[in-house]
């Protein structure tokens, strides 16, 4: 018999390093991101990025920041070496872009790293070369600042190389990274050179001028300033007037305390006030900064620091809606079909009101079910009058918000083995990571068989096999989307599949539960597609119709 204990082995440090590095360094653009963050944390006023061959043969980031002393420079490529976090309590309120002391070590694990640096008080610079666990440091002439060169990326991880796109596409992704940071830090000069050709030059500028350089002058003239402030929360930046729009969310940028973040929900909140002003398939452009107490942001939740966890999410999302609504105020809604903000949002559109309004007004409150109409609508009483809720649209929105949120999962026990066709298996493969992120943990189980281990918690009561069929149907349409858009599309489709349908008979208790959930939704007025989730007939409206007024 085989010794069962010998199956598990502790990985050698070299393999462990390489696996950890894979989490941080996914592609050349992730290296560019980490190096830019280091330059910005070092207080650079000018940063120059150079890449060749899509970043595989060369990535170089050069800054005029604080530089490093010889001792610091030799430590920088070590794992968990950082100047940014000293005590455990520092982790509760991170004010720098970096904090893990992991980026340079990860780069050194999968590439050849060469650092030239000099701190202003040092007479001589330092050169540090690191690769494959070896670090060498020595004196060299260097200007004040730091230049980090990364050569032969993924030379020792051929599998990772295979997953990369064409050099042209990788260069584009790196360029988008540079543009994203340049929008966040308009006061810093940025420059990008691709294959020896200067492709982006952004001198220090005002936020709006920087938008002009990064996204186009024609875009900048159509941007509206956003400035919104509450006691502990500030939302500022620019959003597009409804006179322009895009087919995708490429030109939507969100920064929380100066850190670029990806968030489907923030995008939804930005887009909500455009309903009725922009055709439903067009997306607004936006560069939005959200500034809040760093204690309320947990930045340590994503291996590439692309997502953050927010406490008081609801007030942040509410603030984005209010801030954008206030900026859009001069532009009236055109279409009634997609109401911009059905009650209770409409007060927010009075000038000045938006600022004074309390957060509570954003919730639908005090709904009490009276009965069901045609097994499709819930008729309810509220403080303001009679509310008719579209049961499918409302539930769809509730599920969509939950699916876009925490990623909580419900285990399928025992895991469900599913045999797919070769084509289905091939389709599913590249999406396993994204699906796991949504809460669908699916694992290859040999051949074309997969194990479904979990469902997103909001879909816990659904039939797993039916959900899987829905995903397989939806995936072909996701292949050309960027990961954010694909995730959103799958969340929308899952919400639609899992939601109560028109025709479902609901008990009073079920109606009550649905209304409670709707009251707790961030954006209860519409479903994810922009259709209204409920209609309000106010008491005043009734009085007018009965000619009591």
Ligand X SMILES: Nc1ncnc2c1ncn2[C@@H]1O[C@H](COP(=O)(O)OP(=O)(O)OP(=O)(O)O)[C@@H](O)[C@H]1O
When the beta carbons of 68 and 214 are compared against ligand X, the nearer one is 68
Q: Does 362 help bind ligand X (rule: CB under 6 A)?
A: no
Angstrom distance (rounded) from CA 98 to CA 58: 23
Q: Which tokens go with 201?
A: 């030059």
CB atoms within 10 A of CB 139: 12
Which listed residue (67, 98, 286, 464) binds Mg ion by CB under 5 A?
98
User: Do the beta carbons of residue 273 and residue 324 sit within 8 Å?
Assistant: yes
187 or 206: whose CB is closer to ligand X? 187
Q: In 10 A of CB 16, how many CB atoms?
A: 13
Cis peptide before 42 (omega within 30 of 0): no
The phi and psi torsions of 428 (rounded to 5 degrees) equal -70, -40
Output the smallest distance, CB 414 to ligand X, in A: 39
Contact 397, 514 (CB under 8 A): no
User: Binding of Mg ion at residue 106 (CB under 5 A)?
Assistant: no
Binding residues among 27-66 for ligand X as defined by CB under 6 A: 34, 37-39, 42, 63, 65-66
Closest CA to 45 of 64, 22, 26: 64
Please give the sequence-ordered ranges of beta strands (E in DSSP) within 338-426, or none if there are none. Answer: 368-373, 377-381, 385-390, 409-419
Query: In angstroms, what is the minimal distance from the CB of 300 to ligand X?
Result: 9
Taking residue 60's Cβ as centre, other Cβ atoms within 10 Å add up to: 19
Find the shortest distance in angstroms from Cβ 103 to Mg ion: 4
The enclosing H or E element of 316 equals helix 313-328
Give how many residues touch Mg ion by CB under 5 A.
3
Which residues sit opposite 136 in a β-bridge? 129
Only segment of 103-111, 153-161, 189-197, 450-458 that touches ligand X (CB under 6 A): 103-111
Given Mg ion, ligand X, none, residue 401, with its beta carbon under 5 to 8 Å by kind, binds: none
If the CB atoms of residues 261 and 348 are measured against ligand X, the closer one turns out to be 261
Q: Are 372 and 518 in contact (CB under 8 A)?
A: no
Specify the pairing of strand 46-52 against strand 189-194. Answer: parallel
83 contacts ligand X (rule: CB under 6 A): yes
Tell me, residue by residue from 44 to 83, as one string, x for binding to Mg ion by CB under 5 A and - for no binding.
----------------------------------------
17 lies in the binding site for ligand X (CB under 6 A): no
CB of 84 to ligand X, least distance (A): 5
**Measured from the CB of residue 24, what is the shortest distance to Mg ion in angstroms?**
10
Look at strands 223-230 and 233-240 and give their pairing: antiparallel
Nearest CB to ligand X, comparing residues 299 and 389? 299
Residue of the chain from 103, 468, 492, 536 that contacts Mg ion (CB under 5 A): 103
Q: Which lies closer to Mg ion via its Cβ, residue 82 or residue 372?
A: 82
What part of residues 29-48 is at the interface with Mg ion (CB under 5 A)? 38
**Binding site residues, Mg ion, CB under 5 A:** 38, 98, 103
**Binding site residues, ligand X, CB under 6 A:** 34, 37-39, 42, 63, 65-68, 76, 81-84, 98-105, 146
């Amino acid at each position: 018999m085989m010794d069962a204990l010998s199956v598990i082995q502790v990985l050698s440090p070299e393999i462990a390093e390489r696996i950890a590095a894979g989490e941080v360094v996914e592609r050349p653009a992730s290296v560019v991101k980490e190096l830019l963050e280091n330059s910005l944390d070092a207080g650079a006023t000018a940063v120059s990025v150079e890449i060749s061959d899509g970043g595989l043969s060369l990535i170089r980031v050069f800054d005029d920041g604080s530089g490093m002393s010889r001792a610091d420079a030799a430590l920088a490529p070590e794992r968990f070496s950082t100047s940014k976090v000293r005590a455990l309590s520092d982790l509760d309120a991170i004010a720098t872009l970096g904090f893990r002391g992991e980026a340079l070590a990860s780069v050194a694990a999968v590439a050849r790293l060469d650092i030239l640096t000099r701190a202003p008080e040092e007479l001589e610079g330092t050169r540090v070369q690191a690769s494959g666990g070896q670090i060498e440091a020595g004196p060299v002439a260097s200007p004040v600042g730091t230049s980090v060169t990364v050569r032969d990326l993924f030379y020792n991880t051929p599998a990772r190389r295979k997953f990369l796109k064409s050099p042209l596409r990788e260069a584009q992704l790196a360029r988008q990274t540079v543009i994203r940071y340049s929008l966040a830090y308009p006061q810093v000069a940025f420059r990008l050179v691709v294959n020896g050709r200067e492709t982006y030059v952004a001198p220090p500028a005002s936020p709006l001028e920087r938008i002009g350089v990064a996204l186009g002058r024609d875009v900048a003239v159509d941007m509206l300033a956003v400035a919104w402030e509450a006691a502990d929360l500030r939302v500022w930046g620019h959003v597009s007037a409804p006179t322009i729009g895009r087919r995708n969310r490429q030109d939507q940028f969100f920064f929380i305390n100066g850190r670029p973040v990806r968030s489907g929900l923030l995008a939804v909140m930005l887009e909500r006030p455009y309903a009725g002003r922009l055709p439903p398939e067009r997306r607004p452009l936006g560069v939005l900064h959200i500034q809040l107490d760093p204690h309320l942001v947990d930045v340590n939740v994503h291996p590439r620091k692309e997502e953050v966890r927010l406490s008081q999410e609801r007030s942040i999302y509410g603030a984005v809606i209010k801030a954008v609504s206030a900026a859009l105020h001069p532009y009236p809604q055109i279409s009634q079909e997609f109401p911009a903000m059905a009650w209770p949002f409409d007060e927010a559109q009075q000038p000045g009101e938006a600022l004074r309004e309390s957060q509570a007004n954003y919730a639908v409150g005090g709904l009490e079910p009276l009965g069901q109409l045609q097994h499709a609508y819930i008729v309810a009483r509220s403080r303001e009058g009679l509310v008719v809720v579209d049961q499918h649209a409302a539930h769809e929105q509730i599920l969509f918000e939950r699916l876009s949120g925490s990623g909580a999962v419900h285990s399928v026990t025992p895991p469900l083995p599913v045999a797919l066709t070769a084509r289905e298996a091939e389709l599913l493969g590249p999406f396993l990571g994204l699906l796991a992120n949504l809460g669908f943990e699916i694992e290859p189980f040999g051949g074309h068989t997969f194990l479904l281990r979990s469902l997103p918690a909001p879909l816990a009561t659904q039939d797993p096999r039916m959900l899987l069929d829905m995903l397989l149907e939806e995936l072909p349409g996701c292949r050309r989307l960027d990961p954010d858009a694909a995730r959103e599309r799958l969340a929308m489709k899952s919400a639609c599949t899992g939601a109560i349908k028109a025709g479902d008979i609901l008990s009073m208790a079920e109606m009550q539960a649905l209304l409670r959930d709707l009251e707790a939704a961030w954006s209860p007025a519409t479903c994810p597609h922009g259709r209204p989730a409920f209609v309000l007939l106010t008491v005043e409206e009734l009085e007018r119709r009965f000619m009591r007024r």
